[in-house]
Structure 1
């Protein structure tokens, strides 16, 4: 697969580059736009007026005018000084997401970089040159400065990068991609580090992962409802139709598709129980609300991926008001498109919603294991020999711990620490929001894996003459591919890992979707 940058980038494109070794290419029309933007910067340099990002200092030092002979040093020093990140190094897929989103943003033609800059970034993606980037350091305004500076160091032959698993100095890594270190021209250092690309890249991966997890969570809830002798009437079209939130309708449709032709559900349709507990009965409402939150995040991510978030931005002089710094052909406009609030707030919202998804999943786990509330056909904690064995008791403890960890991540997007001598007095913490959202997704994925471990085990207590639904049967088989039924107490960590890995890879979702007439609802 090849992704064209500078045109239209989707979260799926980012995931393809990050995870599936998709390459990138730069269409000629995009190259023309990049060249035109660079010519505008050159005209401003020749005019020699004071213009932020080209011949002034940065942040609080904006009033410092830089002589023309020092402009290259200005850009190189900017990159070096801002490469001050800390914490764990980003993983391979995260760095590749950062690379492709940075390349795409520069290729939009509002940053004024030379064609050689975008070519070098494209070569790094295609040849697997992955800069060593630390997780922490971005405030989400002015964009993701520190992480992007670590990326930019490699372009000038400094810093470090991994190539085929080997850690190399920046210059040696570039040579592996048959590129030479760049000497940055005016504006290029700032263009390379100013933008929301770490936030946007991680958020794109989060959207793809969250949407996949939601389908598996619907399936897990459907299987729990089935083997726990609950009713699927609560997922009826009639109920969803009189409260038509879009996500509710999707999750309700999924439960109906998954449990179609279920003899287990039919076996107790006329039982004397009036209502199920909320964790079963309200699945479409809660899962649906999470879907709506993730859809809201997708909308922002799709916009952000295709936005110019540099500062200052380079325009044709005819397109902006006269007060901007400009020549006859170019205008350099300072603004705040680097501020990560549009992503930070939606990332926090989505992360909190996914936390609720995990919380409801954990409650369904309890209903399968807890002898005080579980159905009479189930053994306490699904233990073969209750008392002597603990069965899956501690799996619910782990789920509870993971949910608590999700809740502890909070909402970094409402935090603020002024920097740069007060010039940058309100920041977004959007990169922290993105990192936390991905951590919440990982923990939620493991809670859903625990629910699948327990619901598959509960299925062993159901009359084996009764068939599962078309989707829940495939789900049960998918779990049993990697985890055997209990034949006594055993360590469960590997079981949970194995199921979580099948969720993460998409294999489990795809297996179930293939059995449904119209796949999962959308």
Structure 2
């Protein structure tokens, strides 16, 4: 538990801090200085309304209706109407945690004092987080420009007493929530509805989850790939620092150093140090280049997301009484392209993992039987597990086409170029889920190949990793229902069990596993 209170609208937010806030691992508040900025911004909007000078979204219609003047009396009705008319999402609801991330990101953006939001409105959003009454948000319907209009509209329908929420484990209407908690709907002030639904928080929330889950995939890929190198008696030379010093991409250097640490002290490596094989197949030899490139993509996404999390992305921005700017900070392109890049990079981790699985089944490594089982014919061994990894890898490839390459004009041509970043985010998470499954299958096959190297031992890290796998998945001498093994392996990766083992071994054996780019690639 991080006891340092995070000050929304004032402190610097990262993906990791955001996840701590959402999971109740760190307290958050809006401090007095920030509240004063919020009040001043809201007062500025009210003065604009009183003057009657046309300012987009405050006293005009939206999109192609930007030239339609709205009377002072109707400005409040306008803000309620926009939430209702823009709530057009379809599809399955997004995960509750992603909806919670959206709420945190929106408060952090609005509290910076450039959106004209009322203090009362921000406090109600915080109440939803504190009460754990999280709005139900459909997953489809955003084109990722003019903000994530549809999902954000659904996210904030409960403010005006509409929509649904997940509360105490059940999905209920907001009306029912208010009856149970004694709350009443809010009356939104001028510009508030637009401020709430304009912005990139749907895309950014997905990006926060992509950063976490993709990092987990990358970390496990290095571990599982190292075990496969041992199981198939691969060479350690392709990971030599002298090689990577001549082509020092940050991700490549980091991966090579990690694998060197994992293989350190291995009897298996010593056993074939003078063998006649001079080169391994690319899926082993080029792990630093492939895994490293995907790490570079992760780093790129992390850097861009951090900028976005601390930005104001609604429209227009209220700078002061004399300057209100209608621009395009709601456009999701910066994250859309980076998420598409990350999706491709994640897909490639699954692609090379599937190749290593196939390699393990060929029976070309001394001492390792074909299909990873000695008594085949009556037994199929691990043959069909690779069918599943191939299917998952192929599915990922078909999903890797960049959503941001497309744009369909909306709003009668007023919004004639959009990012489709919401699709980029959803797609990236889907691909990463599939890669977790592929790596789980590689973990099983690597552990099986590793077994045939006994009684020789690997280094302390990989020995501990293998022992951890064997606690839940035994060696397979004959066929069994491998689906059960796969599910257990997926759980190991999903729950980060192996990473805990690595930390324990490092601390116990006093191993120095810090690499040149440790901080860069291990923190978010």
Q: TM-score range by the shorter chain?
A: over 0.9
Q: Distance in 1 between matches of 2:344 and 2:505?
A: 32
Q: Are 2:442 and 1:451 aligned?
A: yes
Q: Distance in 1 between matches of 2:105 and 2:180?
A: 22
Aligned 1:356-435 pairs, distance under 5 A: 356-371=348-363, 374-409=364-399, 410-435=401-426
SS in 1 for 2:384: helix
* Aligned 8 A contact 2:393 2:438 in 1: yes
Q: Are 2:259 and 1:255 aligned?
A: yes
Q: Are 2:65 and 1:61 aligned?
A: yes
Q: CA separation of 1:174/1:509 partners in 2, compared to 1, >3 Å: closer, same or farther?
A: farther
* Aligned 8 A contact 1:128 1:163 in 2: yes
Q: Distance in 2 between matches of 1:483 and 1:144?
A: 44
Q: Distance in 1 between matches of 2:374 and 2:180?
A: 58
Which residue is equivalent to 1:496?
486
Deviation at 1:17, TM superposition (A): 3.5
Q: Distance in 2 between matches of 1:507 and 1:3?
A: 29
Which residue is equivalent to 1:160?
164
SS in 2 for 1:288: helix
Deviation at 1:178, TM superposition (A): 5.8
Q: CA separation of 1:249/1:93 partners in 2, compared to 1, >3 Å: closer, same or farther?
A: same
Which residue is equivalent to 2:326?
334
Q: Are 2:342 and 1:350 aligned?
A: yes
* Aligned 8 A contact 1:43 1:330 in 2: no
Q: CA separation of 1:518/1:85 partners in 2, compared to 1, >3 Å: closer, same or farther?
A: farther
Q: Distance in 2 between matches of 1:58 and 1:441?
A: 37
SS in 2 for 1:314: strand
Task: Specify which of 4, 8, 18 is matched with residue 7 of structure 2.
Answer: 4
Deviation at 1:330, TM superposition (A): 4.5
Which residue is equivalent to 1:211?
215
Q: Distance in 1 between matches of 2:178 and 2:312?
A: 26
Q: Distance in 1 between matches of 2:71 and 2:313?
A: 27
Q: Distance in 2 between matches of 1:133 and 1:4?
A: 26
Task: Specify which of 165, 174, 180 is matched with residue 170 of structure 1.
Answer: 174
Deviation at 1:177, TM superposition (A): 5.9
Q: Distance in 2 between matches of 1:518 and 1:176?
A: 55
SS in 1 for 2:66: helix
Q: CA separation of 1:514/1:30 partners in 2, compared to 1, >3 Å: closer, same or farther?
A: farther
Which residue is equivalent to 1:315?
319
Structure 1 gap segments, 5+ residues each? 317-328
Listed one character per residue, the Cα deviations across residues 95-133 of structure 1 (whole Å, up to 9, x for unaligned) are: 111111111111121111001111111111121111110
Listed one character per residue, the Cα deviations across residues 361-395 of structure 1 (whole Å, up to 9, x for unaligned) are: 11111111123xx3131122112421111111111
SS in 1 for 2:165: strand
* Aligned 8 A contact 2:96 2:136 in 1: no
Q: Distance in 1 between matches of 2:244 and 2:179?
A: 59
Q: Distance in 2 between matches of 1:519 and 1:93?
A: 32
Q: Are 2:40 and 1:36 aligned?
A: yes
Deviation at 1:510, TM superposition (A): 2.5
* Aligned 8 A contact 1:154 1:174 in 2: no
Q: Distance in 2 between matches of 1:144 and 1:406?
A: 25
Q: Are 2:488 and 1:477 aligned?
A: no
Q: Distance in 2 between matches of 1:204 and 1:123?
A: 22
SS in 1 for 2:505: coil
TM-score (norm 1): 0.94
Listed one character per residue, the Cα deviations across residues 230-253 of structure 1 (whole Å, up to 9, x for unaligned) are: 011111111111111000010001
Task: Specify which of 115, 138, 151 is matched with residue 111 of structure 1.
Answer: 115
Deviation at 1:479, TM superposition (A): 1.8
Q: Are 2:177 and 1:186 aligned?
A: no
Q: CA RMSD in A?
A: 1.6
Which range moved further: 304-313 or 58-67? 58-67
Q: Distance in 1 between matches of 2:441 and 2:182?
A: 47
Which residue is equivalent to 1:129?
133
Q: Distance in 1 between matches of 2:190 and 2:154?
A: 19
Which residue is equivalent to 1:320?
none
Q: Distance in 2 between matches of 1:224 and 1:90?
A: 36
Which residue is equivalent to 1:511?
501
Which residue is equivalent to 1:91?
95
